[in-house]
Amino acid sequence: MLKYTIRRILYVIPILFGVTLVCFLLFNVAGGDPAAQAAGKYATVEQIESIRAELGLNQPIYLQYLDYLKQILTFDFGRSWSTKQKISEMFWSGVGPSLSVTVPGFLITLMITIPLSLVLGYLRDSFIDRTAMVVCLALISISSLVYILAGQYFLAYLWGMFPISGWDSSWTGRWEYTTLPILIMVVLSLGGQILFFRTIFIEELSKDYVRTARAKGLSNKKVLTKHILRNALIPIITLVVLQVPFLILGSLLLESFFGIPGLGGLLVTAINNADFPVIKAMIVILTILYTTFNLISDLLYAVVDPKVRLQ
Amino acid sequence: MTSAQNTQGRSLWADAIRKIKKNRIAVVSFWIIIAYIGLAALCAMDLVFTSYSLVDNTIPYQAPSSAHWFGTDLFGRDVLARAAHGTVTSLIVGFVGAGLSVLIGTLLGALAGYFGGLVDELITWFYSTLDNIPYILLLVAFSFVSGPGLKTLCLAIGLTSWVGHCRLVRSEFIKQRGQEYVQGAFSMGASHARRIFVHILPNTLHLILISFSLGFVSAIKSEVILSYLGLGVEPGTPSWGMMISDAKLELSRGVWWGLAAATVFMFFLVLAFTLFNDAVRDATDPKLRDK
């Protein structure tokens, strides 16, 4: 296990090099001249040049890249162009609001989809299963934007069951504003997740140990909960771990629709304002988080499944 | 398929087509897809729904009526005609975006899987790197730096979504490269290129097709999200993403028909593609053959 852990951690180094390089090239090379963008549309050549010197963009490209790495390591990404706030502060203040929508939303979805897909997998190809499949496929054929628009329009605007948008930074007051986004998040992830889990459960159901468990006379309930659910937990845990960075990011669309001051909404605002440093910083932070959780999920996988370690 | 298998019985494809023909849902889905392609072709040639860009400022936001089945938009343009023309945009995004990503993924995956060694390590590093950037962020970042527009939209989707195809083709090539028919081709003097493209590639085509159609659906959905972020097609070009995004402002004025038209058009295309894809997967799955 130790050998595998070390190898897997070492493997992260080239990946981190790669992802920082992609982010750097995307924004500093492919995205045009950052100095000209920072200076704005009506800047003179001298102004652009002085900003270029200020941002260190007159240095050779590899020095700029090292500078960028230094920013990441010290978590100091400078300031936003539009609000002049420190980006690291913007990041930390956005995490809480994002998590207060995504964590309840994600957990509620799991509590609905796991038992439901287990039952559907067991009833495979029955009338109930086929109907549920059609419903799930229909659910995923509608754009997530439509769910948000319809939810906000009907439940908040027309029927007044929830506030249309807004935010209360106190922990007790915010739930009034997060309930509808949480509800919409659950509905729009139902279809895809049930399809995903059902496939996993069906695969488990066809394995030999299930036949053995049945052959020794265990009840269906025992087979499903004690045997299948436990074995299927491995891919489920992987999914959950890999979702963590997305829970931190929050939903770009939900947050911008409901005025939730989370990271997703922050990113949408930054895109609308062409706020380069914020977009660049957000993407690299979340990418590094994602890489880290990828590593964690692989290590967890190796803990529960010894076959992985030997590969 | 190799000739040896042909003489023994039906080929994978003949078998698959026979199975798909028997599957009623698959047949209906297939004809729905064809209908969409036909509609897009007619719209692109300006033969039907020619009024899609006809501005009439006297009738903004008219509710559905017999003259305008899905009402009119802010500029008095017919919503149904715009939704129909949106099919062209969506099909271009789907076919070009997903096509480009399948092309890149297949080429890199084939090279990595076939040659192995250093080539494989480099390509694996490259796609693992991209795979470690959350897809939606990569797509948004790419569209942001390349600017809005139909061309850049297709390019952004194509260049960011090939990792899944690449991984699939690579693992399939690793499986196939040691098989007898490839060794046979080698002993008959087939070049690397010939073995890759003429011998192995056709045996992975069904998987690539399934992968492509998943990519197609995801490209169409991405267009909606990118439109909302202001990174969609040029303003004025009819697109479902734009129509759905515009609904944010329209709904508060009670205008629901733009959203409804775009959603209905998109719903049936995506559903048909998903169902057809499932049927192709079942029909070409070797584990389910001859049942």
What is the mean pLDDT of the segment spanning A46-59? 76
The answer to whether B73 and B82 are in contact (CB under 8 A) is yes
User: CB of A261 within 8 A of CB of A97?
Assistant: yes
pLDDT (average), residues B243-256: 87
| Overall number of domains in chain A | 2
**A82 lies in some domain:** no
- CA distance linking residue B98 with residue B103, whole number of Å: 8
Closest C-alpha to B114, from B189, B2, B203, B201: B201
At a CB cut-off of 8 Å and minimum separation 6, what does B265 contact? B83, B84, B86, B87, B240
Residues A19, A92, single domain; the answer is no
Q: Which residues of chain B does A28 touch, with a Cβ-Cβ cutoff of 8 Å?
A: none
Three-state SS at B209: helix
Give the model's confidence band at A139: pLDDT under 50 very low, under 70 low, under 90 confident, else very high: very high
pLDDT at A223 over 50: yes
Query: What H or E segment, with its residue span, contains residue B45?
Result: none
Three-class SS state of B72: strand
- Residue of A267, A233, A238, A274 lying closest to A250 (CA atoms): A267
Model confidence at B288, pLDDT cuts 50, 70, 90, reads low
Q: What is the pTM of this model?
A: 0.87
pLDDT value, residue A117: 93
Is the pLDDT assigned to residue A311 strictly greater than 70?
A: no
Q: Which of B140, B141, B224 sits opposite A143 (nearest CB)?
A: B224
CA torsion A94-A97-A100-A105 (nearest 10°) is -80
Distance from CA of A143 to the nearest CA of B (A): 6
- The answer as to whether A79 is a domain residue is no
pLDDT digits (tens, 9 = 90+) for A98-134: 999 999 999 999 999 999 999 999 998 899 999 999 8
Q: Mind spelling out the 3-state secondary structure of chain A?
A: CHHHHHHHHHHHHHHHHHHHHHHHHHHHHHCCCHHHHHHCCCCCHHHHHHHHHHCCCCCCHHHHHHHHHHHHHHCCCCECCCCCCEHHHHHHHHHHHHHHHHHHHHHHHHHHHHHHHHHHHHCCCCHHHHHHHHHHHHHHCCCHHHHHHHHHHHHHHHCCCCCCCCCCCCCCCCHHHHHHHHHHHHHHHHHHHHHHHHHHHHHHHCCHHHHHHHHCCCCHHHHHHHHHHHHHHHHHHHHHHHHHHHHHHCCHHHHHHHCCCCHHHHHHHHHHCCCHHHHHHHHHHHHHHHHHHHHHHHHHHHHHCHHHHHC
Minimum CA–CA partner of B268 in chain A: A141
Of B134, B225, B259, the CB nearest to A149: B259
Q: Residue A143: list chain B partners with CB under 8 A.
A: 221, 224-225, 244, 263, 266
Using the Cβ of A32 and the Cβ atoms of chain B, whether some distance falls under 8 Å is answered with: yes
Could you tell me if B142 and B159 are in contact, meaning their C-beta atoms sit under 8 angstroms apart? yes
> Which of B128, B134, B245 is facing A286, going by the closest CB pair?
B134
Question: Are residues A211 and A245 located together in one domain of the fold?
Answer: yes
Cα separation, B80 vs B212, in Å, equals: 29
CB-nearest to B145 from A27, A150, A267 is: A27
The CA distance from B134 to the nearest CA of chain A, in Å, is 6
The domain boundary residue, chosen from A27, A52, A74: A74
Residue in this structure with the two tokens 């496929």, named with its chain if needed: A137
Q: Is residue A181 located within the same domain as residue A235?
A: yes
Assigned domain for A99 exists: yes
pLDDT, chain B, mean: 88
- In this predicted structure, the answer to whether residue B4 has a pLDDT above a threshold of 70 is no
Least confident of B100-109, B216-225, B251-260: B251-260
CB contact under 8 A, B229 and A14: no
Query: All domains of chain B, ordered by start, with CATH?
Result: 11-55+80-288 (1.10.3720.10)
Both A47 and A92 in a single domain? no
> Is the domain of A276 the same as that of A163?
yes
pLDDT of residue B28: 95
What pLDDT, on a 0 to 100 scale, did the predictor assign at position A32? 66
Domain final residue, candidates A33, A51, A74: A74
Structure confidence at residue B102 (pLDDT): 96
Q: Show the domain range for A221.
A: 87-304
DSSP state of B234: P
Q: What is the pLDDT of residues B160-190, one digit of tens each?
A: 999 999 999 999 999 998 888 988 998 898 8
Cβ contact B225–A145 (<8 Å)? yes
Contact B133 A22 (CB under 8 A): yes
Asked which of A25, A42, A74 is the last residue of a domain, the reply is: A74
**CB–CB of A249 and B275 under 8 A?**
no
A116 and A38 belong to one structural domain: no
Residues A188 and A70 in one domain: no
pLDDT band at B1 (very low <50, low <70, confident <90, very high): very low
Contacts of B288 in chain A (CB under 8 A): none
Chain A hits for B271, CB-CB cut-off 8 Å, are 137-138, 141
Query: Per this entry, what is the length of chain B?
Result: 291
Q: Establish if A128 belongs to a structural domain.
A: yes
Distance CA A128, CA A120 (A): 8
Scanning chain B, the segments in alpha helix (DSSP H) are: 3-8, 12-22, 24-44, 79-92, 98-115, 117-131, 135-146, 150-160, 163-176, 180-187, 192-194, 201-228, 240-250, 257-284
**Scanning every residue of chain A, which has its alpha carbon at the shortest distance from the alpha carbon of B146?**
A31
Residue B196, helix vs strand vs coil: helix
Q: Which of A251, A279, A286 is nearest to A265 (CA)?
A: A251
pLDDT for res A194: 94
pLDDT classification of B37: cutoffs 50, 70, 90:
very high
Residue range A12-23, pLDDT digits in tens? 899 999 989 988
Q: Give dist(CA B178, CA B195) in Å, integer.
A: 11
CA angle B288, B290, B291 (to 5 degrees): 65
Is residue A28 a part of any domain in this protein? yes
List B72's β-bridge partners, or say none.
B78
Looking at the fold, whether A253 and A123 belong to one and the same domain comes out as yes
Mean pLDDT of B110-114: 94
CATH code assigned at A294:
1.10.3720.10
* Yes or no, beta carbons of A149 and B244 under 8 Å apart: yes
Which of A24, A143, A157, A158 has the highest number of chain B CBs within 10 A, making it the mutation to test binding with B?
Answer: A143
Residue from the list A137, A150, A283 with its beta carbon closest to the beta carbon of B137: A283
Q: Distance from B2 to chain A by nearest Cα, in Å?
A: 31
Q: Which residues touch B97 (CB under 8 Å, ≥6 apart)?
A: B153, B154, B157, B158, B161, B215, B219, B222
Burial class from Cβ neighbours inside 10 Å (0-12, 13-18, 19+) for residue A36 reads: middle
Residues A41 and A145 in one domain: no
Cβ–Cβ below 8 Å for B133 and A267: no
Same domain, A47 and A137: no
**Shortest CA gap B19–chain A (Å):** 18
B chain contacts of residue A141, beta-carbon cutoff 8 Å? 266-268, 270-271, 274
Q: How far apart are CA B136 and CA A293, in angstroms?
A: 17
Chain B residues whose CB is inside 8 A of the A149 CB are: 244, 247-248, 251, 259
A80 within some domain:
no
Q: Closest CB to B251: pick one of A15, A30, A149.
A: A149
Q: Does A142 touch chain B (CB under 8 A)?
A: yes
How far is the C-alpha of B215 from the C-alpha of B221, rounded, in Å?
A: 10
Q: How far apart are CA B232 and CA B242, in angstroms?
A: 7
Local structure of B78: helix, strand or coil: strand
A149 in reach of chain B (CB within 8 A): yes
Same domain, A229 and A101: yes
Chain B residues near residue A287 by CB distance under 8 angstroms: 132-134, 137
Question: Is residue B207 helix, strand or coil?
Answer: helix
Let me know whether A198 and A254 are in one domain. Answer: yes
The count of residues in chain A is 311
Residue A310, in any domain of the structure: no
List phi, psi (to 5°) of B149. 130, 155
Residue A12, chain B, CB below 8 Å: the answer is: no
Residue A252 lies in a domain: yes
